[in-house]
Amino acid sequence: MYYTNSVNTMIDLNLWQPSEDLADDYVRYKHLQEELAVVFTQEAGRPFDLYGVEHVFWFKGGNPYGEAKPLREIEQATPRQVSHPTLDDASTISRLPDSYVPPVIAILTSMARNEPGLEETARASGTSLVRAFEKSIHAAFTVLGFDTKLLGQGSGRVPDGLAIEHDNSYAILWDAKIREDGYSMGTDDRAIRDYVMTQSRELKRRRALRNIYYAIVSSGFKDDHDDLIRSIKMETDTNEVCLMEAAALVAMVDAKLRNPLQVSLGPDGLQRLFSNSGILTGDDVLKTFV
């Protein structure tokens, strides 16, 4: 079965990236499941069929807050054993929460700065910090209301993700850059220009979008970025290049969830934030929607 949880778990583990061809995706998915059944059988010393592989994926993907357990314990697992986070004793809370932002998105600023301990936490969660950062950005664009797709790892020379707004005919190609002291624009600008050129032209051809924006999400930005922005705009079909601090994306989600009817995705709302090239900060977002 083409279970959503199995698909998502295989993507999270960087085993496979689905394309837009569902038939081809299913065949590749099936073959990979068969290969995993052989690997699991060899490692566990007992037979694993396709149902057994799916059960492993259910156990891993369906229990995101519990600790990983050895394979021998999987057979005793049932949906009732899935744990969920609970609020700690009220006596330990210094003030009531005010943010509307889900934890998977609120952590973006800490991830972007590569704060101590997050690498180990990501590994304990069965992923890498880079991939977790990409997934949190993807979650943010999804919550905002975009039609989203994770690209990145396993898909060749492409941006990390895509967010499309069909009603207002625009798309955002985005990359995630974890940096403790800010992203330097000269490190991989040639590669960026190449794949943004390919992807932006493909989007214009296949989806007939009016505007395409390219965004880099990081902790901050340093050095001169004008040359890269200028060259991307000249050499690709990208309208603007947005250097977005992670705090800005978190602020967008907070503003959207607080006032869903007032904060639109169109030119009177979020689109105008992407329509100016240069650095976008959390303060810029707050000034726009306060």
Phi, psi of 11 (to 5 degrees): -70, -45
Angle between helices 4-12 and 50-61 (to 10 degrees): 70
Tokens, residue 10? 């295989």
CA-based R_g, the chain, Å: 21
Residues lower than pLDDT 70 in the chain: 61-94, 152-156, 187
Give residue 269's identity as a one-letter amino acid code. G
CB 239 within 8 A of CB 275: yes
- Alpha-carbon span 120 to 213, nearest angstrom: 34
Predicted local confidence at residue 83, as pLDDT: 39
Given this model, what pLDDT does residue 140 score?
Answer: 97
Record the pTM.
0.70
Task: Report the side by side order of strands in the sheet with 161-165.
Answer: 147-150, 161-165, 170-177, 211-218, 240-245, 278-280
Cα separation of 112 and 218, whole Å?
5
| Nearest-angstrom CA–CA distance, 149 and 164 | 9
Exposure of 274 by Cβ count < 10 A (0-12 exposed, 13-18 middle, 19+ buried)? Answer: buried
Whole-number pLDDT of residue 94: 65
H/E stretch holding 162 reads strand 161-165
CA distance 100 to 106: 9
Name the 3-class secondary structure at 163. Answer: strand
- For β-strands 221-222 and 183-184, DSSP reports them as parallel
pLDDT of residue 64: 41
CA-nearest of 239, 232, 231 to 211 is 239
- Residue 243 is encoded by which pair of tokens? 């250097």
Q: Is 96 exposed, middle or buried (0-12, 13-18, 19+ CB in 10 A)?
A: exposed
List Cβ neighbours of 36 (8 Å cut-off, separation of 6 or more).
48, 53
Tell me the per-residue pLDDT of 66-121, one tens digit each, with 9 for 90 and over: 444 444 443 444 333 333 444 455 556 667 777 889 999 999 999 999 999 999 99
| Residue 65 pLDDT | 39
Query: Which DSSP letter does residue 266 get?
Result: S
